[in-house]
Structure formats: structure tokens, C-alpha cells
């Protein structure tokens, strides 16, 4: 016999809460069952948490999910995505397009939930930023969400210090992130927690789903440390809620968080995965597979839910969310909007900045005073040219800031102009971030700041881009203009040896869809690279910069560096623009290729040098332009790049020659390495002649 639900007007307040909680649970169960895949157990356990945060605590207006001072919610255990789809649906969050305009329809419909995990549904397998409005960041790779939330918390601190004025708390929002065992086992989670503790980010609250279950079973087989003690040691405020079904205790803990100053808060929430399932509760079986039709019925019976109902949102549920988060959020936004209007009259310049930032636009004259480097055979290192450029940009663009993973002095990313300052707990206005030796969380933190509409950068040696790669990938997936600056881009630090010499890094980053990689050939290309990157609104960029000085090319003799904006350009040409051989180079190999070119010309060989700092930008150009740079009729081609040869056949063809790396490097002075691996003008000359059969 199937249960029927009591009429909504007969319910007590507690029963109405429970009805909403069970709606989230059963929507999750039904969606997973319908999709025949997904993760039901964690939404069943965490529905009360989600309900409490969203309906009782968060300042978030479903009518405007991009209102700048909203509280942020990050579901770091992204496999529990049905929690988020339920929340976005039940609270009526409205969709916004890529230009940040409301499109007049709900972000997630019940139909999307019925089509959970199906093509084009706004309820995909994991939370996808840019695809579903109301998702604050993409999660799924465990640990990324919590690390990104640290970037959001840093951003809020910086924004508040920079823009708030007496009586004008323009920014005072909080960041809530839910995580599971996986997020806390991952190294990135520890890196991020360590930095958040150091910075005393009291606007940040992580709630740990302490269910003792991961995919392979009970955590007694893998994860027996004292997590709470670890967070105490990091300097966090650690709280415990012993029953994940206790809405009042959850709410109390969240209130303690909001009152705690000087430390982030970590709430250990003891929960039962698959709560209410007679045969699967507290087992790994509840993690990642549908419950099955029979178990679905049993669970619904346990919840006092009609057993055969599917995707049921009972009367009164939408209304209850409306009178909770709907009302509170709308009021908060209205008040903020009023506040912002009077702020605008008192501080018009600051208001303009905030608005530009929200649309990812740049202030006027953002590129004034960018350096121009005179021709100089001795030249300047890519990293030094970068450092000079960064210092100008950071003064022109107030919300451009960043730092390095402890390599600032080597990366030359330190902002040294008066007043730049260091970002620390007591100086959140500082523009120099010190990420510590935490490349992975650094990249996620950069993403978190970018999601908060700042223009941040992170930096390290190029070799360690590997340590940051999963977050760089997510930046691209999320279509974020995050900036990653990597120096020591090849064998320039010769004596450090193969552990420090990138080989496969360029091609592996070029393989990430949407990511712009740039390896500038001289100081003026570095400046042009930044000019290009700063205008990106929806694509991340990686800069690969040299450690060693590169000759600054004479741009009266050779083509201007502004050619960089087309990805590749003819730098030096054969007389009459009629080449018989094309030599393509990037970065530190450009100048030696120019030398080779001059030798070839002297021997009467008509060579052309193409500087190709960015494959991705070049591929965005018209076919006509691409053919003008690389005329299809010229088959004799050489590519020169101190990196894996993989992929260059795309530009030189199967019969072309690639001077690159097929092995790891070695420990020796750079000059010797250049000789050993073929990066010398004479060897380029020989390759060009060989291509011509001469
Ligand atoms: C970086 C990463 N590694 C592996 C996975 C695959 N994976 C998804 S969920 C999961 C188990 C997570 O356990 P826990 O965080 O405790 O989640 P619960 O089952 O308790 O919801 C794993 C290994 C992943 N999503 N991300
Ligand atoms: Mg778990």
C-alpha cells in the first residue's frame, strides 16, 4: 500500500522542513535511477545540509545568481551533483548567458532533472560552470572545489579591503564548500587548507561529509588519520555536528562560523551515505550506482513518501523555498543595490571599476606605458621583460594581481612598485600573493579568484606546470581567463639538469582544448603576449618564458612584434617574399633561426623565418592568412623548438624537419646542451639545406 502525503497546511514547521529535505532526496534517487547511472547515496545523506545552507543561511538571490555580493556555494564532492540540481531547481534560480544577461528562464527545470546526465540537459553528471547558471565552479576532480573556494575567499578579502568604505560594506560575502573524504585525501585539499589557515580566511567554511565511505569501501582501509586534529593544526576553527539529519545543529554550526573571526571554519558532519536505504545505507554500494527499483520503493517507504511517485515535488515545497532563500536573497540584493547606488554617487570611480570587473572588461588606458624594448643583441630574458610588463599592468588595472609558488624572485613576477604590497591576513589589500610551494592549489586558487572577477595570475617554473595541470585544464573547461606564467621554459637552466628541463609540457598544454599557450621569442613579443592575454575574457593562457637573455630583435629590420596577435607571422623573409624554405621557431629558438636565415641569404638561399609564439592563436586566423604565412606550395620546412617534436608535423608536414627534443635533457651549461641537441644556427642551416636537397 502506497503512502500518501499529508496536506501541506496540516504540517508543522519541522514537517515542512522534512518534506523539502525528502524532496531533494527523492529527486536525486529518481534522477539516478532514470539515468541508470550517478551517485544517489551522498545526496540522500546531505539533503538536510543542503537544505539548511540554502534555505536558512545563504544570502543568494535565485532571481540573480551573479549578483556580486552573493554568498558562494561550492559542491567540491561534485559526484553529488543532484544536490545542486535539486537546489537550483527548487529555489528557482534563473539562467544567465555568457554576456551575463538574464535570459528569462529557469536554470534547471524538472525536465532537466528527468534527463539527468543526458545530452544537453542542464543537469549534467557533475556541476559545470558556464553550462548551468548558479554553479559557482566546475567540480568532479576531487579537491578542486575546496581549493578553488580558497581563491574565492582570498578574492572576497581583497575586494572588501579595496572597495568597502565606512558605511559601505559593498563586499561582505561568505563561501561555503561541501567536501567528502576524497577531497580531503587529495594533496590539493591539504595545500589549500594550509594556505587558508595561514591567511586566516574567516569568510570560508568547509563542511566535511564524514561518512567513512569511499568507492572501495570503508575508509578504515585508507584514511584513518585524525582529520579534525589536522585542521586544528592548520589553524582552522573546527566544529562537529554528530548527526547530519539535525537541521538545528547544522544551522548553529553555520552561525558559529559566521561569528568566528580570524580563522576559517571546518565542520565535521557525521553522516550516513544512502541514508534511509534499508540494504545500502553506510555501504560503498550507495556511492555510485542506482539503488534499483525495489530499493527505491523501500527507501521512499522509509521516508514516508509515496512509493510509486517519481520526480515528485509536493505542494508547498517551491513556496517554502520561495519564502526562505527567495525572500531573504531578494531582500539582501535589493538592499545591496540601493547601497551600491549611493556608493556610486560618493565613489563613482570605484563603482565603475566594480562594474567593469563584473563584465571582465578593462579600464581605459589599461595598456598605457607598456615597455618597448630597443634592439639589443645581448637582449633581456623573457622573465625580465615579463616582470617589467606585469608591473605596468598591475598599476593600470587595479584588480590585476598575483604571485608565484615561492619562485617570485626567479619568475620575476613580484610587483615591486610602491604600494603594491603583500597579501597577508592583516594586509588583504596587497597585490603580491604568496602561494607557497603549492602549485596545484595555486592554479585552483587563481581560478577561484578569476571566478570572483579579479584578473589574477600564478607563476612557477614551466617544468612544474605538471603540478598545476588539473586546475589549468579546469580553467579551460570553465572558459575562465586565468593566467599562468611559467618561466625557465626549456633548457635555459642547463646545469639544473633534466628534472628541471621541460620537454613534453608545451605539447601537453597545447592539447588542452581552449587553452592559449604563448612562447614569446623576444622581449617585445613578451609585451605583445600580455597585450593579447589581457583582452581574453573566456580563455585561460599559459606563458612560457625564458630564463636566459634573448636578443631583442631589430624591429626596423624585421617585422613588428605585434604580429604575435595573429599567433604566427613572417618575421624575416626571402627577397621579394618568395621563399624556397620556411623555418618556423618559437621562444628562445627564434633568434638563432634569424641568424641561420642571414647565413642562408648570404649563400643565396631564399629562406623565410616564421615566429610562431602561439599555435592556438594562429589557428584562429583565416585560412588565407595562414596560407600567406605558410604557403602550401613551399614544402621545404624546418621547425625549431626546444621541446618535444610531437605535433610539429602539423606545420612542417611528414617530409619536413623538426629540430626538437626526443629525449630528456641533461645537466650541463646551456651552450653545450644547445650543441648536443642541435639548437645552433649552423645546424639549422644544415637542416634547411637538407630540406632543399642541397
Ligand atoms: C581526483 C579524482 N580522483 C578520483 C575520482 C573518482 N571518484 C569519484 S568519487 C570517489 C570517491 C569519493 O569518496 P568520498 O569523497 O568519500 O565521497 P562519498 O562516496 O563519501 O560521497 C572517487 C574515487 C575523482 N572524481 N577525482
Ligand atoms: Mg566518503
Q: 287 CB less than 6 Å from ligand 1?
A: yes
Phi–psi pair at 471, nearest 5 degrees: -80, -30
The DSSP 8-state label assigned to residue 343 in this structure reads: H
Closest residue CA from atom 25 of ligand 1 = 141
What does the DSSP assignment read for 188-241?
HHHHHHHHHHHHT-TTEEEEEEE-SEETTEEGGGT--S-HHHHHHHHT-EEEEE
Q: Which is nearest to 403 in space by CA: 661, 104, 199, 635?
A: 199
Please state the separation of Cα 11 from the chain's center in Å. Answer: 44
What is the pLDDT, as a whole number, of residue 2?
Answer: 61
Ligand at shortest distance from the CA of 288: 1
- Is 439 assigned a catalytic role? yes
Mutate to test the pocket of ligand 1, among 142, 218, 223, 284 (most ligand atoms within 8 A of CB): 142
Q: How confident is the model at residue 514 (pLDDT cuts 50, 70, 90)?
A: very high
Ligand at shortest distance from the CA of 178: 1
pLDDT 10s digits, 589-601 = 999 999 999 999 9
Ligand 1 atom at minimal distance to the Cα of residue 39: 21
What is the pLDDT, as a whole number, of residue 98?
Answer: 85
Q: How confident is the model at residue 114 (pLDDT cuts 50, 70, 90)?
A: very high
What is the pLDDT, as a whole number, of residue 140?
Answer: 98
Could you tell me the pTM of the whole model? 0.98
The DSSP 8-state label assigned to residue 643 in this structure reads: E
Over 80: is that where the pLDDT of 539 sits?
A: yes
User: Which grid cell is 82?
Assistant: 543532484
Over 60: is that where the pLDDT of 1 sits?
A: no
Q: What share of the chain is helix, strand, coil (3-state, %, to 5)?
A: 45, 15, 40
Q: 657 CB less than 6 Å from ligand 1?
A: no
Q: Which is nearest to 303 in space by CA: 312, 85, 242?
A: 312
In angstroms, the CA 452 to CA 203 distance is: 14
Q: 140 CB less than 6 Å from ligand 1?
A: yes
What is the pLDDT, as a whole number, of residue 99?
Answer: 86
Q: Ligand 1 mean position to 50 CA, how many Å?
A: 19
What is the pLDDT, as a whole number, of residue 607?
Answer: 98
Closest residue CA from atom 19 of ligand 1 = 214
Give the β-pairing of 213-214 and 217-218.
Answer: antiparallel
In this prediction, residues 665-693 reach a mean pLDDT of 97
In angstroms, the CA 640 to CA 584 distance is: 6
In this prediction, residues 532-540 reach a mean pLDDT of 98
To 10 degrees, what angle do helices 41-51 and 81-90 make?
40
Q: 77 CB less than 6 Å from ligand 1?
A: yes
Q: Which is nearest to 673 in space by CA: 519, 512, 547, 507?
A: 547
What does the DSSP assignment read for 372-437?
-PPPEEEEEEHHHHHHHHHHHHHHHSTTEEEEESS-HHHHT----STT--B-BTTBTT-SEEE--S
In this prediction, residues 375-381 reach a mean pLDDT of 98
CB within 8 Å of 99: residues ≥ 6 apart:
none
Over 90: is that where the pLDDT of 498 sits?
A: yes
In this prediction, residues 418-438 reach a mean pLDDT of 98
Q: 210 CB less than 6 Å from ligand 1?
A: no
Q: Ligand 1 mean position to 215 CA, how many Å?
A: 7
User: Which grid cell is 261?
Assistant: 573571526
Closest residue CA from atom 11 of ligand 1 = 214
Q: Ligand 2 mean position to 89 CA, how many Å?
A: 25
Q: 273 CB less than 6 Å from ligand 1?
A: yes
Q: 145 CB less than 6 Å from ligand 1?
A: no
In this prediction, residues 341-354 reach a mean pLDDT of 98
User: Which grid cell is 302?
Assistant: 522509509
Torsion of CA 330, 331, 332, 336, to 10 degrees: 100
Q: 141 CB less than 6 Å from ligand 1?
A: yes
User: Which grid cell is 607?
Assistant: 629562406
∠215-217-222 over CA atoms, to 5°? 95
Q: Ligand 1 mean position to 31 CA, how many Å?
A: 19
Query: Exposed, middle or buried: residue 147 (CB in 10 Å: 0-12, 13-18, 19+)?
Result: buried
User: Which grid cell is 69?
Assistant: 555580493
In angstroms, the CA 336 to CA 331 distance is: 8
Of 156, 186, 191, 439, the active-site residue reads 439
Over 70: is that where the pLDDT of 262 sits?
A: yes
pLDDT 10s digits, 36-55 = 999 999 999 999 999 999 99
User: Quick count: other Cβ atoms within 10 Å of Cβ 358?
Assistant: 13
In this prediction, residues 454-470 reach a mean pLDDT of 98
Amino acid at each position: 500500500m502506497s503512502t500518501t502525503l499529508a496536506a501541506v497546511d496540516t504540517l508543522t514547521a519541522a514537517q515542512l522542513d522534512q518534506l523539502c529535505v525528502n524532496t531533494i532526496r527523492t529527486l536525486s534517487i529518481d534522477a539516478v535511477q532514470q539515468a541508470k547511472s550517478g551517485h544517489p547515496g551522498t545526496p540522500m545523506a546531505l539533503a538536510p545540509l543542503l537544505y539548511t545552507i540554502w534555505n536558512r543561511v545563504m544570502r543568494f538571490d535565485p532571481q540573480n545568481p551573479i549578483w556580486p555580493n552573493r554568498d558562494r556555494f561550492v559542491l567540491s564532492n561534485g559526484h553529488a551533483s543532484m544536490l545542486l540540481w535539486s537546489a537550483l531547481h527548487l529555489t528557482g534560480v534563473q539562467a544567465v548567458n555568457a554576456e551575463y544577461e538574464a535570459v528569462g528562464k529557469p536554470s534547471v527545470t524538472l525536465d532537466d532533472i528527468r534527463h539527468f546526465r543526458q545530452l544537453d540537459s542542464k543537469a549534467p553528471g557533475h556541476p559545470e560552470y558556464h553550462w548551468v547558471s548558479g554553479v559557482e565552479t566546475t567540480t568532479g576532480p576531487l579537491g578542486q572545489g575546496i581549493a578553488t573556494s580558497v581563491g574565492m575567499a582570498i578574492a572576497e578579502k581583497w575586494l572588501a579591503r579595496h572597495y568597502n568604505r565606512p558605511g559601505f560594506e559593498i563586499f561582505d560575502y561568505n563561501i561555503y564548500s561541501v567536501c567528502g573524504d576524497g577531497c580531503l585525501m587529495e594533496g590539493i585539499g591539504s595545500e589549500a587548507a594550509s594556505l587558508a589557515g595561514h591567511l586566516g580566511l574567516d569568510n570560508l567554511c568547509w563542511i566535511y561529509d564524514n561518512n567513512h565511505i569511499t568507492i572501495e569501501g570503508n575508509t578504515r582501509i585508507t584514511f584513518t588519520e585524525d582529520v579534525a586534529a589536522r585542521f586544528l593544526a592548520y589553524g582552522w576553527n573546527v566544529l562537529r555536528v554528530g548527526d547530519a539529519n539535525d537541521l538545528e545543529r547544522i544551522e548553529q554550526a553555520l552561525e558559529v562560523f559566521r561569528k568566528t573571526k580570524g580563522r576559517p571554519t571546518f565542520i565535521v558532519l557525521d553522516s550516513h551515505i544512502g541514508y534511509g536505504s534499508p540494504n545500502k545505507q553506510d555501504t560503498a554500494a550507495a556511492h555510485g550506482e542506482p539503488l534499483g527499483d525495489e530499493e527505491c520503493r523501500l527507501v521512499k517507504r522509509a521516508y514516508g513518501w509515496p512509493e510509486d511517485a517519481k520526480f515528485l515535488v509536493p505542494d508547498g515545497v517551491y513556496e517554502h523555498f520561495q519564502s526562505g532563500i527567495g525572500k531573504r536573497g531578494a531582500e539582501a540584493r535589493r538592499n545591496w543595490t540601493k547601497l551600491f547606488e549611493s556608493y556610486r554617487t560618493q565613489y563613482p570611480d570605484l563603482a565603475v571599476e566594480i562594474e567593469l570587473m563584473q563584465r571582465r572588461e578593462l579600464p581605459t588606458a589599461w595598456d598605457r606605458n607598456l615597455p618597448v624594448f630597443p634592439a639589443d643583441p645581448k637582449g633581456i630574458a623573457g622573465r625580465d621583460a615579463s616582470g617589467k610588463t606585469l608591473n605596468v599592468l598591475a598599476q593600470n588595472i587595479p584588480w590585476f594581481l598575483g604571485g608565484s609558488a615561492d619562485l617570485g624572485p626567479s619568475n620575476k613576477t613580484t610587483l615591486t612598485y610602491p604600494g603594491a604590497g603583500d597579501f597577508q591576513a592583516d594586509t588583504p589589500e596587497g597585490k603580491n600573493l604568496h602561494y607557497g610551494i603549492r602549485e596545484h592549489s595555486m592554479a585552483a586558487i587563481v581560478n577561484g579568484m578569476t571566478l570572483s572577477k579579479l584578473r589574477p595570475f600564478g607563476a612557477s617554473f614551466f617544468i612544474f606546470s605538471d603540478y598545476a595541470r588539473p586546475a589549468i585544464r579546469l580553467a579551460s573547461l570553465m572558459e575562465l581567463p586565468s593566467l599562468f606564467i611559467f618561466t625557465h621554459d626549456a633548457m635555459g637552466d642547463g646545469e639544473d639538469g633534466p628534472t628541471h628541463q621541460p620537454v613534453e609540457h608545451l605539447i601537453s598544454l597545447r592539447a588542452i582544448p581552449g587553452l592559449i599557450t604563448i612562447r614569446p621569442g623576444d622581449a617585445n613579443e613578451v609585451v605583445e603576449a600580455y597585450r593579447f592575454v589581457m583582452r581574453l575574457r573566456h580563455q585561460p593562457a599559459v606563458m612560457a618564458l625564458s630564463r636566459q637573455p634573448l636578443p631583442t630583435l631589430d624591429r626596423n629590420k624585421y617585422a613588428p612584434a605585434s604580429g604575435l596577435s595573429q599567433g604566427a607571422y613572417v618575421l624575416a623573409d626571402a627577397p621579394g617574399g618568395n621563399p624556397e624554405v620556411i623555418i618556423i621557431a618559437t621562444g628562445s629558438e627564434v633568434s638563432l633561426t634569424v641568424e641561420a636565415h642571414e647565413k642562408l641569404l648570404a649563400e643565396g638561399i631564399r629562406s623565410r623565418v616564421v615566429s610562431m609564439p602561439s599555435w592556438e592563436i594562429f589557428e584562429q586566423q583565416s585560412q588565407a592568412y595562414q596560407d600567406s604565412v605558410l604557403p602550401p606550395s613551399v614544402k621545404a620546412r624546418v621547425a625549431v623548438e626546444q621541446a618535444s617534436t610531437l605535433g610539429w608535423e602539423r606545420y612542417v608536414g611528414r617530409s619536413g624537419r623538426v629540430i626538437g627534443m626526443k629525449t630528456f635533457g641533461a645537466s650541463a651549461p646551456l651552450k653545450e646542451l644547445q650543441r648536443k641537441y642541435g639548437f645552433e644556427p649552423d645546424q639549422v642551416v644544415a637542416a634547411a639545406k637538407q630540406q632543399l636537397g642541397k
